[in-house]
Amino acid sequence: MHASFRAVSRTTLCALLLSSSAAIARAAAPQPTPSASPLPTIVRVVTADRLNEPLADAVRTTYVITRAEIAKRGWTSIAQALASIPGAFVSRYGPGAGASITLRGATADETLVLLDGTPLRGMQLGAPDLSTVSTSGVERIEIVEGGGSTLFGSGAIGGVINIITAPRRNTRVDLRTGSFATNELRIDLPYLSFERYVAGNAYALPNGTTQANADVERSTIRSDFAHRFGKIAARFNLGITSQHLGVPGNYGNYTPTSRQDTVDSYLHGRFAYRRAQSESIAQVAASSDALAYTSCIGVGCQTDSRYASTSLNLRNIVHAANADLLYGIDLSHGTSLIDNTPSGIAAPSVSQSALYVQEHWFSGKSNSYYVGLRGERDGSAGNSLSPAIGGRFALGGDTILRANLATAFRAPTIFELYYPCPVAFPCSNPNLQPERARVADLTLSNDRVLAGTALTFFDTRASNLIVFAPPLFIPENVDQASLQGLTLTAKTRRLHGLGVNASITDLYRALDLTTNSRIYGRGPVLSSRLTLDYLAANPYAPGLRSWGITASTAGLRNDPADEIYYDVNGNPQPNPPFAQASGYTDLSAYVRFRIARRATITLRGENLGNERYALLSGYPMPGRSFSVEFSTR
């Protein structure tokens, strides 16, 4: 990042912080303050403290994306929805390709993704591609930023993303068609949801050629139902996603004609027994993942990877007059096979076992604090002891201070350790050590400043951080690393139906302390998002129902070292496999009309400024696109 850009970034951020601090100081009249949330209608969450609690009681920074927001914005994948969260940065490589996320500078592998409270897919296969996870049947997404290893274990250094599914009470059908041969059918029924998504994804490249073999076909079906067995409330979830897509590229095992097929399935059961002052919960889960990747460069023309896992979670929550006690046990076991030779390569099985406890005390109307501890055994990766402490304190004048300090850890994934690659182009490292981190954050918030303003400072100090550094991008451990940043969020009350929501994040420090250089691939130095939207007073009246405009920016480093990588023959090449653009602005908009009491038409536009990311491993973002959507409800 150029010095001038950093100076402007710091000046802008300081001005925003000073104005926010002045406004907070002027506020009066006490009122409890919840963690920041896109929609204030969500009053209870289940992820921050692994129990059902009011959002106002959550000490950890918690954001919520609701089903209504997903439908309004037209987000078809979890990756699209997460791009709206402060501190989160999503790199999308086109409608038919993958996406990756960083959360407060933590990579996708360092951010734990849950589906109904259970790790999504086999996390030991590596971070799930959230562009392939449909929002069909999703009730809400809860995002808890900051270290979550005390309650959830390995992989929660940056935070926890919990995708919560639930059946609709009524029937809804969505039909969409748009640019790049994108078509979607979504049907939501009581207890069942189905989605079929297709994208031809042929689009022009900045160099004048046309991108091909980046198409996708995805089918998702989910079912959810509940039943009571006497005093035991049971809930069952099952789902399957099948996807077929092109994977064009220009390095290593990737070729312009590469193809990928994935089939992911899961079955969850949850059983709860509630008493007057306590609740006991048991969760059982089984999942399987199969990936077939075909190319014709490297060891073989096809790589087949399969992973199956089972887990059991038992926990008990005891409620007292001024305290909640949570304790439990997590057990899981997974087996994997990476097969790109006639005999196949079986990676070691992965077993995890953990005991955890957390006590949360409440004092007065707005003050609380917690202490937690987790002991976990991750097979050959060894043991980990993860304490955490935090609290929420009323400072007067409606200002709330939230503070958290925790240790977090991540075991290397099977792909990072054992993925087979050509000898001339290695891409795994069996000598990797688990990551260890100390994670802290401080948040000042006030709901009387505008309609809610919050300022967060976050800090992560890590040892053995796993990075993919240029020029060869082989995973390796960094002895000591430091990440620091600030996030400011603010929103206004609606005036004549108009509302504004804004956020800015400055990840001003992401350093390898050994070399004092910035760590590669940790997201933008400065990112911002501004949304202006309108909601009609009577959403059921015919005519204009709502509209919205969102502008997001990202300033990414573009160091000279990022411009060169080495191919399989050791020759320097431009356009590294994981190149980052120096920056971009993305502008999107939608307008929705009600044409009947139970029918709407929505027009959407994406990337209206026609700006593109740099070529990312053969995955540039396409140019501007448009779509039309018909919905019944």
Q: In whole angstroms, what is the distance from residue 331 CA to residue 312 CA?
A: 5
Q: What is the pTM of this model?
A: 0.85
Least confident interval from 34-43, 44-53, 374-383, 408-417: 34-43
Residue type present at position 630? F
Least confident interval from 297-306, 348-357, 438-447, 485-494: 297-306
pLDDT band of residue 11 (cuts 50, 70, 90) is very low
Mean pLDDT of 369-387: 88
Tell me the two tokens of residue 510.
């992401």
pLDDT at residue number 482: 92
195 has a pLDDT exceeding 90:
yes
pLDDT at residue number 22: 38
Q: In whole angstroms, what is the distance from residue 62 CA to residue 162 CA?
A: 11
pLDDT band of residue 77 (cuts 50, 70, 90) is confident
pLDDT at residue number 402: 96
What mean pLDDT value characterizes the chain? 81
Cα-to-chain-centroid distance, residue 179: 26
Higher pLDDT, 294 or 181: 181
470 has a pLDDT exceeding 70:
no
Tell me the two tokens of residue 575.
């356009």
Tell me the two tokens of residue 438.
């100390």
Q: Which of 385, 456, 469, 461 is nearest to 429 (CA)?
A: 469
pLDDT at residue number 80: 87
pLDDT at residue number 31: 38
Mean pLDDT of 351-360: 94
pLDDT at residue number 406: 96
366 has a pLDDT exceeding 90:
no
Interval 555-577: pLDDT, tens: 765 444 444 444 445 555 544 44
Beta bridge partners of 354: 330, 376
Higher pLDDT, 18 or 591: 591
Mean pLDDT of 520-541: 88
On whether the CB atoms of residues 531 and 39 are closer than 8 A, the answer is no
The residues spanned by each domain of the chain are 3-632
CATH number of 3-632: 2.40.170.20
Higher pLDDT, 203 or 354: 354
On whether the CB atoms of residues 178 and 201 are closer than 8 A, the answer is no
On whether the CB atoms of residues 610 and 586 are closer than 8 A, the answer is no
